[in-house]
Structure formats: structure tokens, C-alpha cells
Amino acid sequence: MKPPNINYKQLIAQHLKILEGLKYDTGLFAASQKNVSTGYDKSWLRDNFYECLAFEIIKDYDTVEKTYLAILQIFLKHESKIDAAIMNKPKYKHEYIHARYDPKNFNEFWEDWGNKQNDAIGAILFKIGELEAVQKRKFIKTPDEVRILNKLVKYLSSIEYWQDPDSGMWENDEEVHASSVGACLAGLISIKRVDGVDVDDNLIEKGRQALDKILPRESEKKFVDLALLCLIYPYNIVTDKQKYEILTNVEYHLLREHGVVRYKNDFYYNRNPDGYSEEAEWTFGLSWLAIIYERMNNKIKATQFISKLVDLDTKAGMPELYFSNSDKFNENTPLGWAESLFIVALYQMNNKYLLD
């Protein structure tokens, strides 16, 4: 079953071109347009992880590997900061590995932006492990690269990721987030398979126990959160029971007409004077659900979400979000992350048509 009157090849090619337009010569991607006024011309570690998923699914490994080698160069450039965090558990946000960088020179941006984001480190370790051990790409070749990967493992140990409050995927209040613990756990399991990288099994077990204790909640304050979907895809780090609980809660509490709200009472791009009653609707939440349901062989639900996405698409690309109960979207259009998950959703569900 596929949505009617859609040229999948054309749609995927169109959005790949849009996504490629966000790439800098260094291999890093901007979060959105390079001339946007919102600060999304910068590079986030997490956004680059998600932006690369589209290129991985079409097997453009040159693009993917260039991005990850650039990220490793970021870590090497700031290696002394990582060393300091390994020696002594950080007390202040600025002592943690930053979440975003100048895509041209790899410098940190010093202003406070919820920079304490442990899941971003887990994400990078997860994908490098996948590329090396599952895809057999073997692109980690230098002693420097192996050394910094080992230091990232030690960093997660030092900060005690399984019980360390961070700003999470949405860069908000510091809590122990299931999505962050799960990302780090998945990263450690994945990178453990890479030659030369040492991961203590106890470090993995602590994360597993902490994650099981938090779920199905996202955190103490948040019962349900869009970020929990990452534990299903791409990390695949939850049990079937946990997966169904997450999906049920997200769809019941957060699914809207133009996307999925991140969590109840989200202030970001809230359009109401009271500041909390109507949350913005994120388009990539629909792609995320489509991907998950296709992987569960539920083509009916996957197709329903794809059809919604096609209706929400714009000439400029997939928006970050729509204002609540509105056909108006924000300036972060296209959002690289949204472009990538849309491409993955289209390709994954319809590649049999693409091969016709």
C-alpha cells in the first residue's frame, strides 16, 4: 500500500538536493539554511547524526564518513577539555563536551544553549560502531581516531551518564532523561564492537538498569516525550513491551494534525499569549512514526503518516514545525533533521517501487 499519485524517486531526489544544500565543505551540516537568522546555520552533533541517516540509507557512504571524520576532528581539537572531564567529573555546563560548533573551523560556541547534551555523544558512538562493525566500512584508521573514541567512552563513565542530569534532546531543563541514557547505552554497546575500543561491561549494565527504571517515562517531570522514539529507532534499545508503551503514549498524548509535539507545555514557538496551552507540532515526528511502523511491518499506519507528510511538504523543504492548529510554519525551513527522516521514511517504505 502506498499513497496515491506520488513520484517517490522524484520526491526523494528533491529532498536529497535540499539536504545536500545544508552541507559545508568540511563535511558538517547546518541545522537549517546557512542564512537563517535563528542560529540554525551552526552545526549540532546530534543534528549531523540524524542528517546523515538519509545518506546512509541510500548508501552514500562517502558523505556519511566525511561527516563523522569531521566530528572526530572536533573531538580531537577539544581533546584537552575531554581529558579534564575524564580526570574530574564536570561540575558546570561549560566543562561538558559542547553540543554545537562552527562548521567551518570546529570552534565551540560559548553562549549557553543547553549545552549539556549527553545523548549527542552516545549518538556519535552508536553510528561509528554501526558503520565499522555492521556496515564493515572500516573508515577509522588512525591512532588518533581510536584514542579519541576510547576517551569518549571514558568521558561517559566519568560523567556517570546513567544518572547525570542533562538538557536532553530538546536542550531544556536538566534532568536524567531516558532518551539520553538510552542513547549513551546504545552508543557504548555499538562502539564496543570496534577494534581497539575498550568498553567495560559494567558501564553498559549501569545504563541498562537506569533505563529500565525510568521507562516508560522520559524523566521525572515528563511522562511522555517525542524524544523517546529514538530508543526504538535508530537505537533499538528497548524491549517490545517498552516499545509499545512508548508508541501508545506518544500517539495518544502528543500526535497532532501537523506533526508531533515534543512534550506537554512545550514553550518553544508557542503561539498563545498564555505561553503554554498550545505546543508547536514537529513534522519529523510523523516521519519517525512512519519509519518505526514500517520496521514493524505495519504498512497501513506507515502509509498514513507518509500521506500526512506529503501534504505538509513545502517548496523550500520540510519545516521544523508548524504552529499549533495552523498551516503556518517557522523560519527553520528546511530543517536538515526533518529532511533526512522524511527521506528515510520514503525510501524505507517504498524502495521496492524505487527499484522498478
Query: Rounded to the nearest 5°, which phi and psi values hold at 234?
Result: -95, -5
CA–CA gap between residue 311 and residue 333 (Å, rounded): 15
Taking the model in full, what pTM does it have?
0.95
Phi (first) and psi of residue 80, to 5 degrees: -65, -35
> What's the pLDDT tens digit per position in 275-304?
656 899 999 999 999 999 999 999 899 999
Compute the distance between CA of residue 107 and CA of residue 105 in angstroms, rounded to an integer: 6
Mean pLDDT of all residues in 162-175: 95
Position 165, amino acid: P
List Cα–Cα distances, 3 to 14, 307, 308, 338, in angstroms. Answer: 18, 6, 10, 19
Which residues, at least 6 apart from 56, have a Cβ–Cβ distance to it below 8 Å? 64, 131
> Which residue type is seen at 319?
P
Percentage, residues of the chain above pLDDT 70: 95
- H or E element that contains 281: strand 281-282
**What is the Cα–Cα distance from 31 to 41, expressed in whole angstroms?**
6
Judge whether residue 172 has pLDDT over 80.
yes
Across residues 34-60, what is the average pLDDT? Answer: 95
Cell of 158: 566519568
Q: What is the mean pLDDT of the chain?
A: 93
The pLDDT tens digits for 120-166 are 999 999 999 999 999 999 999 999 999 999 999 999 999 999 999 99
Question: Under DSSP, is residue 322 helix (H, G, I), strand (E, B) or coil?
Answer: strand
Q: Domain residues of the chain, as ranges?
A: 1-22+254-356, 42-236
Residue 200 parent element (H or E): none
Higher pLDDT residue, 324 or 206?
Answer: 206
Question: What is the sign, positive or negative, of the torsion defined by CA atoms of 264, 266, 271, 273?
Answer: positive
pLDDT tens for 3-44 read: 556 788 889 999 999 999 999 999 999 999 999 999 999 999
Residue 330 near residue 280, CB atoms below 8 Å: yes
pLDDT digits (tens, 9 = 90+) for 187-237: 999 999 999 999 999 999 999 999 999 999 999 999 999 999 999 999 999
Q: What's the pLDDT score for residue 109?
A: 87
Q: Which amino acid is at 163?
A: Q
